[in-house]
Chain A
Amino acid sequence: MKERLEAIKKAALEKIEKADAMESLNDIRVSVLGKKGELTQVLKGMKDVAKEERPIVGQMVNDTRAVIEDALEKEMTLLKKKIREEKMKREVIDVTLPGKTHEKGHRHPNQIALEDLERVFIGMGYEVVEGPEVEYDKYNFEMLNIPANHPAKDEQDTFYINKDIVLRTQTSPVQARIMETGKMPIRMIAPGRVFRSDEVDATHSPSFHQVEGLVVDKGITFADLKGTLEQFAKEFFGPDTKVKFRPHHFPFTEPSAEVDVTCFKCGGKGCRMCKGSGWIEILGCGMVHPHVLEMCGIDPEIYSGFAFGIGLERVALLKYEIDDMRLLYENDKRFLSQF
């Protein structure tokens, strides 16, 4: 009996080793281990075995079965792997063929710049607010310390609807509107369209965008203004950006400043973009003029604040190195799809 089992095992293992297809392995399994297989036949012959030897023989049969099953399993795994590898060899593709996409649209560069800017200020706790584009003269000028006949009214080349209503020349009237509500503290930015009667050319447009910023609270200082805009510049233009504050004059802030940042193209060494100076002017700012606070019903003895205004197109044109402002309004797909 033992010899017979050994013979079955040996024959089976030899066949298994020679097998080179899944079918032959399956055949082996059926012919040896199957219902009518050799090993099963052995088990069937157990009735001829002495009763006391039956457990021993049974164990021997089971051991033999285990060895064959194990060998079958291993060979199958090997064979599967081999077959898969051969299949994959046939499946090589040209990975340098173009990818499949569908045509996507693009954000307008101005909008991208705006969203970048909003993200920075929202992170600093600012609320984004809006104000009307067709605005009362009162908010656009008077409340900002620009009384009737002030030369600044000429400087800004205002479009008038009538003597009381204008197309806003700046986003600053939103300052007055927010301060008037009297809710403190204020930390806001107000992006939006503004209008000035400039003829269209490469650097001028009668309609463009500004982003106004305003902070009013107890104890706000010029140092806070510097810190805020420096942080903004570093986040918006890059961590190595340096900021320069130059004294300037705006009717609605005092003290006032213009802010330059190190040229983001040459890093401050001087290039064509910054006209060799290494600096690029990006915004105007200052401490909210006490008279402006008063006109909005805020006591300048208790509260102070700062405000700033950024020309969005200017930033977008510089950032994306766009050389003609008219491109922003022409909406040519070949331009828009570069952003």
Chain B
Amino acid sequence: MDTPISWIKAYVPDLECTPQEYADKMTLSGSNMESVTYLDKNLEKIVVGKIEKIEKHPDADKLIICQVNIGDETIQIVTGAPNVSEGDLVPVVLDGGRVAGGHDGGKNPENGIKIKKGKLRGVESFGMMCSIEELGSSRDMYPEAPEYGIYIFKKDVKPGDDAIEALGLHDAVVEFEITSNRVDCFSMIGMAREAAATFRKEFHPPVVTKTGNDEDVNNYIKVRVEDDELCPRYTARVVKNIKLAPSPEWMQRRLSAMGIRPINNLVDITNYVMEEYGQPMHAYDLDTIANKEIIVRRAKNGDKFTTLDGEERIMDENVLMICDGEKEIGIAGIMGGENSMVTDDIKTLLFEAACFDGTNIRLSSKRIGLRTDASGKFEKGLDPENAMAAMDRACQLIEELGAGEVVGGAVDVYPNPVKQIRLPLEVDKMNALLGTDVSKEQVLKYFKRIELDYDEATNEVIVPSFRQDLHRMADLAEEVARFYGYDNIPVTLPNGESTAGKKPFKMRVEDICRNVAEQNGFCGGMTYSFESPKVFDKLLLPADAKERQAIEISNPLGEDFSIMRTISLNGMLTSLATNLAHRNKNVRLYEFGNIYIPKALPLTELPDERMQMTLGMYGDCDFFNLKGVLEDMLDSLGLGGKSEYIPTSEHPFLHPGRQANVLLDGERVAYIGQVHPEVMDNYNMKGEVYVAVIDMPTLVPKATFDRKYEGVAKFPAMKRDLSMVMKKNIFVGQLEKIFKDKGGKLLESYELFDVYEGDQIEKGYKSVAYSLTFRAKDRTLEDAEVSKIVEDILVELKKLGIELRA
């Protein structure tokens, strides 16, 4: 909402403050300032001058030399402007002054243009006469200004006067962000009321007097509202003998300051009242209205209607229409029809000020794809009481401006007037909510300024109809807080029962995983939760893969963001590809993010949101670097040595010979592998990428921070090295399982120290060497018992065809 300060001052004459003070204080009482625009920005040393004499320039055909009276002296100005004559009163910028922009009306420079005396073709010039564009405005706002050339005052000014003052440019427009609950503040009167209350000054809204001749409007027009839910109030008045003319300067200046172009008295009055009262009005040419009746009803599905912008639009049954006895003549609250448009030949005018259901206007305007200033106001849900007030104000202006003859009386279809809201005045409760100690007298003072009356007999606050946002004590408490001042409310801390601050176990586990990943060189990343369904193909998932059962967003930003991810890899691979494209070396990333697994499709209940920790890396690394990170992580979670890596080829996006499921207690908590070369192609990546995905909901319950001291070994260990020969396709995991099974409690640890394939070994075979450490907690082991265990292990190994190396 833009508010020119001059307009606000029209209702709050005692308001004395700079635009910045006005903006700041209004912000603290609830109208948040967005910007302040000074209309006199960069306008310095500009006075009214009277051209006394014009002579030709001796050396230039297109220049003239003017003697200009600027009050206390007469100065010489050379100009190329074609439109001035002797006796004209013009704005003159003096030597050392400043103007806002050039005469072409282009974008104004930040600091304006400095004007200095100088010579033009050898003739001295001591200033410059200004066009309206040079003064930072335009012909849109000052229709009387010439198309090319110097602005010439038509009004009563004298040489030496402040020209900026005379043009009404010593003003600032403050733009406020109005919250959706304060419909009343989308009007100049509403903002002025707030300003008066904020600055504790008197508020003088316009005084509207009775208007109209002795005739009865009911002889001119009948109104029938068929849907009073969508149109709670419809008022109409008639103006005859219309005399179109420009509106007066004060009205033009106020509209210009709001960025509204003055057109003629009729249009300007409707716009003026719309800004002043926040109530859109519509004008119909009464002579175009069939049967002299207005019917407000819903459109029929598929109706075609041409709005006054000449566009044909298709209606549906939820769009409210204004109709006459034969046809539709306007879309209620949105735009009038071409067929009833006011033209320059208008003789008799029908004014409409109505209240339409805000939600319906908003939804209709969206469906039709037409949003206007009027619909923007209506969709906020206007106060029906305001309609008649605005109508009467408009008619008053018609009479004041001599724009026509107002017919007596008004049509007012208002079957269910708004009920007055009364709220109990509960000062103690308000203070208890705010933590303040404001007296009842003070509260009532605040309320009086914003027109909340108090009924002492019933101890009730009477809420005016324009404050549709006040329903209960908390709402009134906010009014108290606003005018008491949020900054005056004390600062305390809650003093109830104390509570223990904590994080859930799950987050503790996540934190540890983050720490381990970072210690191992992984950076935390973040990717989107939604992606393209094409991802499934990129990841080579078969047509029947369960991952393809994904939740679709019904109104996505585009196909690329249209499904909720069911697998976390796409984000990781995309990020790695970005890094690769940027030629970053040795990149390691991890991400915590949910996947969304629907229980059934279409979705009837919330999906299973599963937190995934995804790790990905390329560069100086291989499978076992990543596996080491996983082992590190599990170890930090009290799960060291408990995991099993089961070779698999079930993940189509991974290299079939380089992938494994990671099991804990027989349950899969993660998978790990090298990205499939075809997937690498799909992501435009070269080289090798390794990824691991941990399913946190499976991992978290297994994690434990329960540690018990087991003592340090008191008895010596006994080591046995086993160097074995086996077929290449035997995995060491199989050996380790045997070590664990047969080693029992006495096997303290085992360590792989060599894998060899080559000349010394038969083709298709490899040599693997382990060092086994045995130890008992309570005694020194006998050689014999260790030998027995090793024997047992060898027996089992033999079953796999594994022999000790000769």
Q: What class of interface size applies to chain B in its complex with A? A: 35 or more
| Docked-complex contact B526 and A110, CB < 8 angstroms | yes
Does B242 belong to the interface (CB within 8 Å)?
no
Contact, CB under 8 Å: A304 / B554: no
Closest B residue to A157 by beta carbon equals B555
A-B interface, 8 closest residue pairs, ranked by CB to CB distance from nearest = A223-B435, A221-B435, A249-B179, A255-B478, A108-B524, A122-B501, A247-B30, A105-B518
Q: Does residue A226 face the partner (Cβ distance < 8 Å to B)?
A: yes
What interface size band does chain A fall in?
35 or more
Within 8 Å CB of A181, what residues of B?
A: none
In the complex, A318 has a CB within 8 A of chain B: no
Q: Does the CB pair A185–B499 fall under 8 Å?
A: yes
Chain A residues with CB below 8 A from B586, complex form: 103
- Given the interface contacts A125-B500, A244-B487, A247-B30, does A328 sit within 8 Å of B561 by beta carbon? no
**Most-contacted residue by chain B among A124, A159, A195 (CB, 10 A):** A159
Beta-carbon contacts of A226-265 to B below 8 Å, as 1s and 0s? 1110110000000000001111110000111110000000
* Sample (20) of A-B pairs whose CB atoms are under 8 Å apart: A105-B517, A107-B524, A108-B526, A124-B501, A126-B499, A151-B362, A161-B554, A162-B602, A221-B432, A223-B490, A226-B491, A227-B491, A228-B493, A245-B487, A247-B486, A255-B481, A290-B474, A330-B578, A332-B578, A333-B523
Q: Does A282 contact B (CB under 8 A)?
A: no
Is B81's CB within 8 Å of the partner chain A?
no
**In chain A, what residue has the closest Cβ to B490?**
A223
Chain B residues numbered 579-631 whose CB sits less than 8 Å from any CB in chain A: 579, 582, 584, 586-591, 594, 596, 602-603, 606-607, 609
- Within the complex, the shortest CB–CB distance from B275 to chain A, in Å, comes to 21
Residues of A within 8 A of B (CB): 102-108, 110-111, 118, 121-130, 132-136, 149, 151-152, 154-155, 159-162, 165, 167, 185, 187, 193, 195, 197, 199, 206-207, 215, 217-224, 226-228, 230-231, 244-249, 254-258, 287, 289-291, 304, 328-334, 336-337
Pair A255/B477 contact, Cβ less than 8 Å: yes
Known: A127-B499, A221-B435. A165 touches B474 (CB 8 A): no
Residues of A within 8 A of B603 (CB): 134, 161-162, 165
Please judge, given known A-B contacts A221-B432, A221-B492, A223-B489, whether A167 and B553 are in contact too, CB under 8 Å.
Answer: yes
A105 with B521: CB separation less than 8 A: yes
List chain B residues, Cβ under 8 A from A135.
606
Q: A54 CA to B517 CA in the complex, in Å?
A: 80
Q: Which residues of A contact B519 (CB under 8 A)?
A: 104-105
Contact pick for A221, options B434, B528, B529, CB 8 Å: B434
- Which residue from A206, A226, A244 sits with its C-beta under 8 Å from B489? A226
Measured CA separation A333–B585 after assembly (Å):
9
* B523-541 contacts to A (CB < 8 Å): 523-530
In the complex, the answer to whether A223 meets B496 with C-beta atoms within 8 Å is no
B557 and A206 contact, CB distance less than 8 A: yes
Which residues in B have some Cβ–Cβ distance to A below 8 Å?
27-30, 32, 179-182, 358-359, 362-363, 379-380, 432-436, 472-475, 477-478, 481-482, 486-487, 489-504, 507, 514, 517-530, 551-557, 561, 564, 575, 578-579, 582, 584, 586-591, 594, 596, 602-603, 606-607, 609
- Are A329 and B528 touching (Cβ within 8 A)? yes
Q: Are A132 and B489 in contact (CB under 8 A)?
A: no
* B494-A215 in contact (CB<8A): yes
Shortest C-beta distance, A19 to chain B (Å), equals: 45
Determine which of A106, A151, A159, A304 lies in contact with B379 in the assembled complex, contact meaning CB atoms within 8 Å: A151
Question: B180, A152: Cβ atoms under 8 Å?
Answer: yes
Whether B551 pairs with A255 at a CB distance below 8 angstroms is no
Q: How far is the CA of A215 from the CA of B554 in the complex (A)?
A: 35
Q: Please, how many angstroms separate the alpha-carbon atoms of A124 and B495 in the complex?
A: 12
Report the nearest A residue to B585, measured CB to CB: A333
CB–CB B521/A328 < 8 A: no
Residue of B nearest to A111 (CB): B524
B501 touches A193 (CB 8 A): no
Which residue of chain A lies nearest to B588 when distances are taken between CB atoms in the complex?
Answer: A105
